[in-house]
């Protein structure tokens, strides 16, 4: 059972205000409609397990209000509704508030031209190629505004990734896009912290694996910043996060229905918020054509 108020980076002189992050339930692997599909049936046992853990912590810490801030994607909305229903069945007295947050959506993968005989769950090789290209371009080739699915055509009309030619009717987001969204979400939370960060309130974010990994990396960076153990240029925070992922990617893995705590107190430190504001301003200025 997760325990509010405990954190691996504990500091006895700092009051912990933990934020619980929940990944949506296992979703239907449907590549149509911008991959905005619902969840698979038959996950009652997982739903019950998740809700029991949340209700246990609600009772243990005298929580009066449960606030869920969720991605707007169908798989997240459906997961949240089922889990909230289960929580209310176990604890009818708890007040539950659900708020959708567009900034918490997964990386937008764009729209593809699928085979005419495509069926839900089919393997689609260009999608795998697109992911590999995205990681190479965004990080290895220092091209963070590379959009997911772009075949990168040079002046001679030659594609760097020919397997992606004529596959995407709309390219997806860039690494800059998703990082900017999450930076803004943290800043928005800071501006509203007096309303939502209270002893009798449990805050849960329901999102996807990539946003979770980035948020967790940001917490680790914030911890280093607080302890003056890291240094990077403005505009390179996302690179610092990527370096952490490459160093220990297992640390940031997040399975379907997993619950994890992050130290929201670290994300609310003024020094870190000021860095985020500078990052947002710099990236929006440098990549203004893409965001």
Average pLDDT over residues 48-64: 93
Residue 100 has pLDDT above 80, yes or no: yes
Burial class (CB in 10 A: 0-12, 13-18, 19+), 142: exposed
Q: For the chain, which domains are there?
A: 18-107+175-286 (3.40.50), 113-170 (no CATH)
- CA-CA distance, 220 to 260, in Å (whole number)? 14
- CA-CA distance, 189 to 231, in Å (whole number)? 25
Q: What is the pLDDT of residue 2?
A: 52
Q: What is the pLDDT of residue 109?
A: 95
pLDDT band at 8 (very low <50, low <70, confident <90, very high): very low
Residue 241 has pLDDT above 80, yes or no: yes
Going by their DSSP bridges, the two strands 18-23 and 201-207 should be labelled as parallel
Q: What is the pLDDT of residue 17?
A: 54
Higher-confidence position of 5 and 96:
96
- CA-CA distance, 196 to 264, in Å (whole number)? 11
Q: Which two tokens stand for residue 51?
A: 């809700």
Residue reference for tokens 């997040």:
254
Residues in contact with 156: Cβ distance below 8 Å, sequence separation at least 6, in sequence order? none
Q: Which two tokens stand for residue 22?
A: 């929940």
Q: What value does the mean pLDDT of the chain take? A: 90
Render pLDDT for 129-151 as a digit per residue (tens, 0 to 9). Answer: 999 999 999 988 989 999 999 99
- C-alpha count within 13 angstroms, C-beta hemisphere, residue 101: 24
Average pLDDT over residues 114-122: 93
Residue 5 has pLDDT above 70, yes or no: no
Q: Tell me phi and psi for residue 100, to 5 degrees.
A: -85, 140
Q: What is the pLDDT of residue 291?
A: 45
């Amino acid at each position: 059972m997760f325990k509010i108020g405990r954190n691996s980076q504990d500091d006895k002189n700092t009051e912990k205000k933990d934020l619980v992050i929940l990944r949506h339930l296992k979703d239907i692997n449907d590549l149509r409609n911008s991959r905005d599909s619902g969840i698979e049936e038959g996950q009652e046992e997982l739903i019950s397990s998740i809700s029991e853990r949340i209700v246990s912590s609600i009772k243990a810490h005298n929580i009066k209000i449960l606030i869920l801030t969720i991605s707007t994607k169908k798989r997240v909305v459906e997961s949240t509704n089922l889990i909230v229903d289960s929580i209310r069945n176990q604890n009818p007295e708890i007040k539950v508030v659900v708020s959708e947050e567009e900034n918490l959506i997964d990386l937008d993968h764009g729209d593809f031209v699928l085979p005419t005989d495509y069926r839900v769950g089919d393997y689609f090789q260009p999608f795998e190629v697109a992911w590999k290209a995205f990681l190479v371009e965004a990080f290895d080739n220092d091209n963070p505004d590379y959009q997911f699915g772009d075949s990168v055509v040079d002046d001679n009309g030659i594609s760097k990734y020919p397997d992606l030619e004529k596959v995407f009717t709309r390219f997806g987001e860039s690494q800059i896009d998703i990082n900017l969204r999450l930076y803004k979400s943290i800043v928005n939370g800071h501006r509203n912290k007096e309303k939502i960060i209270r002893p009798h309130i449990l805050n849960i974010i329901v999102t996807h694996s990539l946003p979770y990994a980035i948020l967790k990396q940001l917490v680790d960076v914030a911890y280093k910043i607080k302890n003056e153990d890291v240094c990077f240029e403005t505009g390179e925070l996302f690179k610092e996060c990527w370096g952490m992922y490459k160093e220990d990617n297992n640390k940031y893995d997040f399975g379907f229905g997993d619950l994890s705590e992050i130290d929201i107190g670290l994300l609310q430190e003024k020094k870190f918020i000021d860095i985020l504001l500078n990052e947002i301003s710099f990236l929006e200025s440098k990549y203004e054509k893409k965001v």
